[in-house]
Amino acid sequence: MNSTIKELKTQTDTSATGLFGKDFLLTWEKSLNNLETILTVAEDLKMLRDRNISPRCFDSGLAISQFRDNSTRTRFSFASAANLLGLAVQDLDEGKSQIAHGETVRETSAMISFLSDIIGIRDDMFLGAGNAYMREVGTALDEAFADGVLPQRPGIINLQCDIDHPTQSMADLLHLKTVFGSLENLKGKKIAMTWAYSPSYGKPLSVPQGIIGLMTRFGMQVDLAYPEGYGLIPDVVELAGKQAKESGGNFRVVNSMEDAFAGADIVYPKSWAPFHVMQQRTGLLRKNDHDGLKSLEKDCLANNARYKNWECTENHMKLTNEGKALYMHCLPADISDVSCKEGEVAATVFERYRVPLYKQAGFKPYIISAMMLTNRFEDPARLLGNLKHRWKSRVL
């Protein structure tokens, strides 16, 4: 415990960290020091709870969750994170609010924020809109605070948008840090972020973009693999290449799953919709064109079916470093002969890595709570030390 608290103190420079009072929208907007601080705070919070020490640092306050798309892991992780720190959770159900009657983003943002500390938003349905919506909410909060409407400006956490899924990728990074022993040990390790077949279409781009946008900053060898035509947002791919050069790592795009798996230390096979399809889908959704959406889905599923061989099988796993690569997935995975006839991963591969996958997912509540804590407290190291020395039992 003491060693991690000491480590955090060397990384934290009070309000100059870029975390206090700042929204967490994209990982590549944060410095490496910021990211490492989040990881360390998450580890400390996990250790406090594991040792039955209450990490509650709020006596009252709300954490608002606004999910504009379906969610299981992230929804419960956000609620768990808020509860861990002592915040109550209130869901913003747009169908049951005045938003459905035309209430503006500016007004909604102010009305939900009077006694709120954190707002978590998931908005990944519309390409070019999700992250922009979060920033619009942020601007509205800035105005309301400046005008004296709000006693404090709540922080915003991106729970997944059209561009990035920072709580997922940061949880993935903490999982890798734990498995390989340190961030330093990740340098030179090869991670294969590959497309995989799914019997569904329209899955967001934010997970693969989050992975290549984060792992390229830590000196890793990052392969992005997909069939021709299944590319991501070009700006994010370009950013990944630039970051890899700066970190001493490597980034390349290949059109072969086997090529990406060859010698890999980590594999992350995950389906997503092509960038151009998401652009088309967004336009149809905005126009409420149901017939157009049905036609697009039919065409996309037919195209997906051409690449059923893009499945993480036992033979693919044998291509990895000594055949022992770490298999990762954000879940839920499309498991062949389990959740679907043919999917992203063979049942035997998934079952062999099921426990590590659940552990991977288990880091997300701590990552989110670390984002909450560093947003609201200027000196997280001092706060964590006080919580430790207070030693208030979580369970009596």
**How confident is the model at residue 201, as a pLDDT?**
86
Q: Are residues 146 and 106 in the same domain?
A: yes
Q: In 131-273, at which residue ranges do the beta strands (DSSP E only) sit?
A: 155-161, 190-194, 221-225, 250-254, 266-269
Whether 396 is in a domain gets the answer no
Whether 20 is in a domain gets the answer yes
Model pLDDT for residues 8-23, shown as the tens digit of each residue = 554 544 444 689 999 9
Whether 347 is in a domain gets the answer yes
Q: Up-side HSE of residue 240: CA atoms within 13 Å toward CB?
A: 26
Contacts of residue 106, Cβ cutoff 8 Å, sequence gap at least 6:
140, 143, 144
Q: Are residues 344 and 267 in the same domain?
A: yes
| Overall domain count for the chain | 2
In the block, which residue shows the tokens 């504009």? 68
d(CA 129, CA 65): 18
As beta bridge partners, residue 316 has: none
Model pLDDT for residues 313-330, shown as the tens digit of each residue = 999 999 999 999 999 999
CATH code (residue 210) = 3.40.50.1370
Q: Are residues 70 and 149 in the same domain?
A: yes
Domain containing 85 equals: 2-164+364-390
**Measuring CA to CA, which residue among 361, 12, 372, 375 is closest to residue 170?**
361
Q: Are residues 69 and 153 in the same domain?
A: yes
Q: Are residues 185 and 153 in the same domain?
A: no
Whether 256 is in a domain gets the answer yes
State the helix-helix crossing angle for 275-286 and 290-304, rounded to 10 degrees.
Answer: 160
Where are the alpha helices (H) located in 29-187, listed in sequence order? 32-50, 73-85, 105-111, 130-146, 166-180
**Measuring CA to CA, which residue among 310, 359, 301, 362 is closest to residue 336?**
310
SS3 335: strand
- Given a contact cutoff of 8 angstroms between Cβ atoms, the answer to whether 27 and 367 are in contact is no
Q: Are residues 9 and 82 in the same domain?
A: yes
Q: Are residues 177 and 192 in the same domain?
A: yes
pTM of the model: 0.94
d(CA 53, CA 33): 27
Give the number of other Cβ atoms within 10 Å of residue 289's Cβ.
13
What is the residue-level pLDDT of the chain in tens, covering all 396 positions?
Answer: 455 555 555 454 444 468 999 999 999 999 999 999 999 999 999 999 999 999 999 999 999 999 988 888 999 999 999 999 999 999 998 876 777 667 899 999 999 999 999 999 999 988 999 999 999 999 999 999 999 999 999 999 999 999 999 999 999 999 999 999 999 999 999 999 999 999 998 899 999 999 999 999 999 999 999 999 999 999 999 999 999 999 999 999 999 999 999 999 999 999 999 999 999 999 998 899 999 999 999 999 999 999 999 999 999 999 999 999 999 999 999 999 999 999 999 999 999 999 999 999 999 999 999 999 999 999 999 999 999 888 889 887
Q: Are residues 141 and 191 in the same domain?
A: no
To 10 degrees, the CA torsion angle through 130, 132, 133, 135?
Answer: 130
Whether 395 is in a domain gets the answer no
d(CA 140, CA 263): 48
